[in-house]
Structure 1
Amino acid sequence: MFKGVLLGFMAFAAFAISDAFVKSLRGSLPAYEAVFFGAALGLSALPFIKGAGDRWRDVVLAQRPGLWLVRAGASAVGSIAAVIAFTALPMAEAFVLIFLLPIFVTILSVLVLKEHVGWRRWSAVVAGFVGVLVVLRPGFRVLGIGHLAATVCGLSGAVSMIALRLSGAHEKRVTLYGAGMIGSMLVAGMMMLASFRWPDPAQWGLLLGYGLLAALGAVLLMLATQKAPANHVAPTQYSQMLWAVLFGYVLFDDPLDWPMAIGIAIILGAGLFTFVREEKVTRWWKRIRMI
């Protein structure tokens, strides 16, 4: 159990460092171009994720093709939105909005899965949105494309999670992972055809860090969920916020004022509470292979 949770923290540290690499591009490449190369490099994780009985064609051959396409599309939209958000916003502020994901999952669970959601989880939803208002302070500061992109990223992640709930018990791990990488490559690849710019050596270095560290995070997360229940590993995702605050302060001179700190605490608390309630109410992660 301890090793699984520790691997979870390591996985999300790798994801956070990957995000710092893509933020270091500072918009010097279009977001979709960064996503294309990041996803292509992310395929390097496939040999480690592929099970003994899996075939390479299982990456794209799903038991439920419609849900595979939903995950592929949601991953592509979410990845592009994430790059835009990290480029335009301080890392901590981007994560605040991305971490609305469990709140969006609760809402979509009602709309799509017809789940019953009690007053406790609805209270967490309300608290999460209050935290967003505290962070963003609409009317007191200018909101831009980065805020919209981060919100879209969180919503896309929630859509992908709902598709995972519906298909996870029927699909292989390599299929679930492949949907995100292949979908991102196809969508971003088509978008960059019109105005492709070949990266320079410095940009290649940042892209390598972005893609390979994300692949490392995926492998570590897989190992973590093999050693500990997924509901114990999932909350380690919130350690990314600590990395975001640290990287933002040390590397990017990102400001962090008291209202933002209070809003971050509210949103993280609402998200963690949602995870706890999900375990008690639905226990969905005990029925699927998480990736």
Structure 2
Amino acid sequence: MFKGVLLGFMAFAAYALSDAFVKSLRGSLPAYEAVFFGAALGLTALPFIKGNGDRWHEVLFAQRRGLYLVRAVASAVGSIAAVIAFTALPMAEAFALIFLLPIFVTILSVLVLKEHVGWRRWSAVVAGFIGVLVVLRPGFRVLGIGHLAAIICGLAGAISMIALRLSGPHEKRVTLYGAGMVGSMLFTGVLMLADFRWPTLAQIGLLLGYGLLAALASVLLMLATQKAPANHVAPTQYSQMLWAVVLGYVLFDDRLDWPMAVGIAIILGAGLFTFVREDKVTRWWKRMRMV
């Protein structure tokens, strides 16, 4: 159990470092081009994620094709939005808005899965959106494309999670992982046709850090869920906020004022409470083969 949780913390530290690499590009490449190379490098994790009974063609072919397509598109949209958000916003602020994901999952669980949501989880949803208002302070500060992109990223992640819940019991690990990588590559590859820019040597180095660290994080996360129940590993994702504050301050001179810090705390608290309540009510992790 301890090793699994520790691997979870290591996985999300690698994810945070991956985000720092892509933020270091500072918009010098189109977001969709960064995502294309990141997804291509993400395929390096496949040999480690592939189970003994998995077949290579299952990266592309799923039992539930519609849900595979939903996850592929949601992954591509979410990844592009994440790159835009990290480029435009301080890391902690971007993470705070992306961490609306569990709140969106709760709403989609009612709309799509027809799950019952009690007053406690609805209260967390309301609190989460209050936290967003505190962070954004509309009318008191200038809002930009980065804020919208971060929220879209959280929503895309929630859509992908709902599709994963529905398809998880029927698909292999390699299929679940492949949907995100292949979908992102195909979607962004088409966008690149209109305006492709060869990355410089420095940009290649940053792209390597972005893609390979994300691939490493995926492998670590898989190993974590093999050693500990997914419901114990998943909350370690909130450690990304600590990494975001530290990396943002050290590498990018990010600063957080008190209202933003309070709003971030509200969002994180609401998200974590939502996860814990959903954990007790739906037991969804038992129906999945991969986080």
Same-fold status (TM-score > 0.5):
yes
In the alignment, structure 1 residue 100 sits paired with structure 2 residue 100: yes
Deviation at 1:75, TM superposition (A): 0.1
Q: Distance in 1 between matches of 2:266 and 2:165?
A: 26
Equivalent position of 2:273 in the other structure: 273
Q: Distance in 2 between matches of 1:279 and 1:203?
A: 41
Equivalent position of 1:5 in the other structure: 5
Matching residue's letter, 1:74? A
> Can you list the C-alpha shifts for 1:181-220, whole angstroms capped at 9, x where unaligned?
0000000000011110000000000000000000000000
In the comparison of the two structures, how many residue pairs are matched? 291
Match runs of 1:114-129 below 5 Å? 114-129=114-129
TM-score (norm 1): 0.99
RMSD, matched Cα: 0.5
Q: 3-state DSSP class of the match of 1:62?
A: coil
Q: 3-state DSSP class of the match of 2:252?
A: coil
Deviation at 1:286, TM superposition (A): 1.4
Equivalent position of 1:49 in the other structure: 49
Identical aligned pairs, as a percentage?
A: 88
Matching residue's letter, 1:26? R
Q: 3-state DSSP class of the match of 1:251?
A: helix
TM-score (norm 2): 0.99
Deviation at 1:246, TM superposition (A): 0.4
Q: Distance in 1 between matches of 2:284 and 2:118?
A: 16
Unaligned runs of 5+ in 2: none
Deviation at 1:255, TM superposition (A): 1.2
Q: Distance in 1 between matches of 2:117 and 2:290?
A: 23
Deviation at 1:53, TM superposition (A): 1.3
Equivalent position of 1:172 in the other structure: 172
Q: Distance in 2 between matches of 1:259 and 1:64?
A: 44
Equivalent position of 2:79 in the other structure: 79
Deviation at 1:51, TM superposition (A): 0.5
Deviation at 1:290, TM superposition (A): 2.0
Deviation at 1:287, TM superposition (A): 1.6
Deviation at 1:268, TM superposition (A): 0.7
Equivalent position of 1:144 in the other structure: 144
> Can you list the C-alpha shifts for 1:9-62, whole angstroms capped at 9, x where unaligned?
000000000000000000000000000000000000000000011110010110
Matching residue's letter, 1:282? T
Deviation at 1:177, TM superposition (A): 0.2
Q: Distance in 1 between matches of 2:290 and 2:151?
A: 23
